[in-house]
Amino acid sequence: MADQRSPWFMPAIFAGGLVFGLGLAISGMARPEVVLDFLQFDDFGLLFVMGGAAVVTGVTFFVATRYLDRAPLTASEYTRRLKRFDRNVVLGGAIFGVGWGLSGICPGAAYASFGIGNYPILWAVGGMFLGAYAQGFVRSRLSDAAPSS
């Protein structure tokens, strides 16, 4: 992935992030209160955020994997996002869900939240780094101890 990067690689990533963040801010997902309103059944608008976004990526993935050759800036092949299923997918999803329901914030929305001036969100970003570090530290220990995995 991304072996031969064109000079336009980083500008394209930044432009994509810019539009992504703009969308998160417009949609209200950058505000934990809006997410909590959805999870508490006071406002179902978030269905349109995830639904609208998934339809756009779905059509893009379908067209690119079928009809397009290789990505212009990296020469990578177009693939779909298919990850192997194991019990961690369910366990991780459950832990993430409790955290999302408690705080109303998920990773991408947290970065966008900082962008709209919501500096208290750094509590959440700090927590996310700490959580990512904790699970990575434990899993590094486990895999370093195992002969091979």
Partner 1 sequence: MAVTPLVGALFPRGVLPYLIGGLLVGLGAAIIYLSTGIIAGASTFLESTLSYVSDASRFNRTKYVRSRDWRVVFTLGIVAGAAVWGFVLSPDPGAWTTDVQPWRLAVGGLLVGVGTRLGKGCTSGHGVCGVGSLSRTSLVNVATFMAFAIGTAQLVAALGVSP
Residue 134, H or E segment:
helix 122-145
Query: What is the footprint of partner 1 within residues 26-45 (CB under 8 A)?
Result: 26-34, 36, 39-45
Q: Which of 84, 146, 147, 148 binds partner 1 (CB under 8 A)?
A: 84
Can you tell me the distance from the alpha carbon of 71 to that of 92, in angstroms, rounded to the nearest whole number?
32
What is the x/- site pattern for partner 1, positions 46-65, by CB under 8 A? Answer: xxxxxxxxxxxxx-xx--x-
Minimum Å distance from CB 149 to partner 1?
Answer: 11
Give the distance, in angstroms, between the CA of residue 132 and the centroid of all CA atoms in the same chain: 14
Minimum Å distance from CB 31 to partner 1?
Answer: 7
146 is a site residue for partner 1 (CB under 8 A): no
Q: Which of 117, 146, 147, 148 binds partner 1 (CB under 8 A)?
A: 117
Residues, the chain, total?
149
Query: CA geometry: angle at 132 spanning 10 and 53, to 5°?
Result: 55
145 is a site residue for partner 1 (CB under 8 A): no
- DSSP structure class, residue 42: S
Beta bridge partners of 70: 77
